[in-house]
Amino acid sequence: MNEREARLRQLSDSVVNMDDEGIVELSRNYIQAGHPALDGILGGLVDGMSRAGALYEEEEYFVSDLLLCSDAMYAGLGELTPHLPEEAKNARKPRAVIGVVEGDTHDIGKNLVKIMLETAGFEMHDLGRDVPVADFVAKAKEVEASLVCLSTLMTTTMTNMGRIVALLEQENLRDTVKVIIGGAPVSAAFARKIGADGYAGNAVEAVGMAKRLLGLETPVLA
Amino acid sequence: MLDPLTRLRKALARQAVDRPPCICPGGMMNLVTRELMELSGHGWPAAHADPAAMAALAAAAHPAGCFENHGLPFCMTVEAEALGARVAMGDMGSEPRVTAYPLAGLDGWEDLPAFDPGSSRAGIVAEAVRRLARRDDGVPVIANLTGPLSLAGSLVEPMILYKALRRDPDRARAFIDRLSDHILAFGRTLLAAGADVVALSDPSGTGEILGPKLFAAYVLPAVNRIVRGLRQTRPQAGIIVHICGKMHTVFPLLSTIEADALSFDAVVSLKKARLHLPDTALMGNVSTFALESGRPEKVAALTRHSLTSGADIVAPACGMGNASPLANVRAMLATVRNHVPGAQDHARHPLA
């Protein structure tokens, strides 16, 4: 392992170890050593978040752990992103709209999906929670999104997901916008029933599904 | 034949019953559907804030042939609102929900307003319980409490809360302890008002979110603090704890919860739960997806599955969607009523 690889490994480890303070220093040192910011993000921070995601899938890590890992990742991004070359900063990323459907304010799952998709290179437009049906569609239009991610934790509000799919259809957006749903009461069967493109059981699955649906099997980062 | 109150009491105590009860507690475990609102003449959102309407709607399911209990309130915002959270009352199709937190972070929780279990909507729920208890109709009145982590996550942004559990454990513990005492005070008020059973649901405090370490560090002590307090107040009251999500990472811990019954989501195998919980009444876990979108035959099949998997109490696995058709909900109770416990099913339900 050369010096650059060792630094990348340290950045990655800091994300996995949830060290949101140490990572700031490591990120600065990495830039000062003359290494490209993009590599630091991809090979360090994002690598760490992917490892954390794998630990989450293995049930070594849980939601609270992933949140702390993402704190560290964002702290590192805060240091490295300003050093990206202009063309990387301006590169067109796939855009996704995400939110919790109206009637529900539980958004931990949505926040995790947002973090993991952001990590995977998506430009995320987060509408927050308790979001009216029409707002998803309006936002998808406005930002020319290729993906809409819907979440709910409540059985009482899952019917709103079907309404969003129907409205996208009505607006002739179903050919250009894929819809992924998630949340405790919904399922793959429910996704099929309402005409969504897929159901993801957790944030890591959501990333895989988003990439598959958009034909982005290769990394889409920055 | 046992009356519904006696049957539920016996099932909670794991005594012999003619057949398991079929209930839906209310609260997070929503038991109100649009058709029940129409039948009772009382609907959301008015019934959240009016004791007569709340009592009437809480008692609509039983005469409609749905569940063998009355259940209230119909949301998880009563305690949070009393502690300063801003709540939108929703409409006929959606439940009340928190729209603004009184706390920006965990520091400052000491300044939350004092919890008065007799005032505001907490007082309305207590009054509705009193009205239902006065009926003395042999149907159990189930009062619902919001679990400690869920209440905490209604007072401060959950992302901040979950991080604080790791980063600031002393403060987090003190905060959760205080909230547990508030919840207990509300529970005591509802027992004093005549509730037969208390159900505590903590969807934000699941093993799936927290993992076994944080679940053991926060959820177990807080839930038991409440359960013990309720028992002290009224030893004969039944206590149900509902835990959301997958359980396999926390199964070994569940036997330390001192409730009479544990209620589980549809993803949980009651047979597996039984291996870890030999002495606890198991409640569940008919898919609310099937209840809302399936056919009655599907609901009946899932109900039979719960029965043969060893459910001591049959119930929806989660809150019911309020578009769930009456035909589906009735199929649940009809299946339970016609169930003849077989020797291989569950020795706890011999024909009385």
Q: Who among A18, A102, A190 is closest to B94 (CB)?
A: A102
Q: What local confidence, expressed as pLDDT, does residue A154 receive?
A: 78
Q: Quick check: A23 and A13 in contact, CB under 8 A?
A: no
Judge whether B288 is closer than 8 Å to chain A, CB to CB.
yes
Q: Quick check: B240 and B187 in contact, CB under 8 A?
A: no
Which one-letter DSSP state was computed for residue B302? Answer: H
CA–CA distance, A25 with A19 (Å, rounded to integer) = 11
CA–CA distance, A174 with A165 (Å, rounded to integer) = 8
Strand segments (E) across B96-168? 97-100, 141-146
Answer whether B265 sits within 8 Å of A111, measured CB to CB: no
Q: Who among A65, A111, A184 is closest to B211 (CB)?
A: A65
- Calculate Rg over the CA atoms of chain A: 18
CA–CA distance, B128 with A83 (Å, rounded to integer) = 62
Answer whether A190 sits within 8 Å of B97, measured CB to CB: no
Question: What tokens appear for A178 in the block?
Answer: 């894929």
Q: Quick check: A96 and A124 in contact, CB under 8 A?
A: yes
Answer whether A64 sits within 8 Å of B293, measured CB to CB: no
Q: Nearest C-alpha of chain A: how many angstroms from B4?
A: 27
Q: Name the amino acid, one letter, at B60.
A: A
- Read off the pLDDT band of A68 (50, 70, 90): very high
Answer whether A62 sits within 8 Å of B322, measured CB to CB: no
Query: Which alpha helices (H) appear in A125-202, and where do they start and end?
Result: 133-143, 159-170, 188-194
Q: Quick check: A154 and A106 in contact, CB under 8 A?
A: yes
The domain limits of chain B are 4-14+44-285
The residue-averaged pLDDT of B305-322 equals 94
Tell me which residue has tokens 């998803």: A136
The residue-averaged pLDDT of A145-168 equals 91
Window 308-327 of B, Cβ < 8 Å to A: 318-323
All residues of chain A having their beta carbon less than 8 Å from the beta carbon of residue B288 are: 155, 185
Q: Which CATH number fits domain A92-213: 3.40.50.300, 3.40.50.280, 3.40.605.10, 3.50.30.30?
A: 3.40.50.280
Tell me which residue has tokens 């003449």: B41
Cα of B234 vs its chain's centroid, Å: 18
B297 has pLDDT over 60: yes
CA–CA distance, B156 with B185 (Å, rounded to integer) = 21
Residues in A whose CB is inside 8 Å of some CB of B read 18, 59, 61-65, 67-68, 71, 102-108, 111, 130, 153-159, 184-187, 189-190, 193
CA–CA distance, B326 with B335 (Å, rounded to integer) = 14
Q: What local confidence, expressed as pLDDT, does residue A103 receive?
A: 79
All residues of chain A having their beta carbon less than 8 Å from the beta carbon of residue B292 are: 155, 158
Please give the full DSSP string across B112-127, using - where no structure is assigned: SPPP-TTSHHHHHHHH
A194 has pLDDT over 60: yes
At A174-186, the pLDDT tens digits run 999 999 999 888 8
Show the 3-state SS of A66-119.
Answer: HHHHHHHHHHHHHHHHHHCCHHHHHCCCCEEEEEEECCCCCCHHHHHHHHHHHH
The domain limits of chain A are 3-89, 92-213
CA–CA distance, B317 with B310 (Å, rounded to integer) = 14
Q: What local confidence, expressed as pLDDT, does residue A222 receive?
A: 41
All residues of chain B having their beta carbon less than 8 Å from the beta carbon of residue A67 are: 159, 162-163
**What's the CATH fold of domain A3-89?**
1.10.1240
CA–CA distance, B229 with B222 (Å, rounded to integer) = 11
Tell me which residue has tokens 């009637």: A103
- Read off the pLDDT band of A91 (50, 70, 90): confident
Interface ipTM > 0.85: no
Which one-letter DSSP state was computed for residue A201? Answer: S
B295 has pLDDT over 50: yes
Q: What local confidence, expressed as pLDDT, does residue B347 receive?
A: 43
In chain A, the residue whose alpha carbon lies closest to the alpha carbon of B249 is: A59
At B121-175, the pLDDT tens digits run 999 999 999 999 999 999 999 999 999 999 999 999 998 999 999 999 999 999 9
Q: What is the pTM of this model?
A: 0.90
Answer whether B288 sits within 8 Å of A62, measured CB to CB: no
**What's the CATH fold of domain B4-14+44-285?**
TIM Barrel (3.20.20)
Tell me which residue has tokens 């009054």: B127
Judge whether B271 is closer than 8 Å to chain A, CB to CB.
no
Q: Quick check: B313 and B259 in contact, CB under 8 A?
A: no
Q: What local confidence, expressed as pLDDT, does residue A157 receive?
A: 82
pLDDT averaged over chain B?
93
In chain A, the residue whose alpha carbon lies closest to the alpha carbon of B288 is: A155
Q: Who among B99, B320, B323 is closest to A159 (CB)?
A: B323
- Read off the pLDDT band of B248 (50, 70, 90): confident
All residues of chain A having their beta carbon less than 8 Å from the beta carbon of residue B88 are: 130
Q: Is B174 helix (H, G, I), strand (E, B) or coil?
A: helix
A220 has pLDDT over 80: no
Q: Nearest C-alpha of chain B: how many angstroms from A153?
A: 9
Q: How many CB atoms lie under 10 A from the CB of residue B229?
A: 16
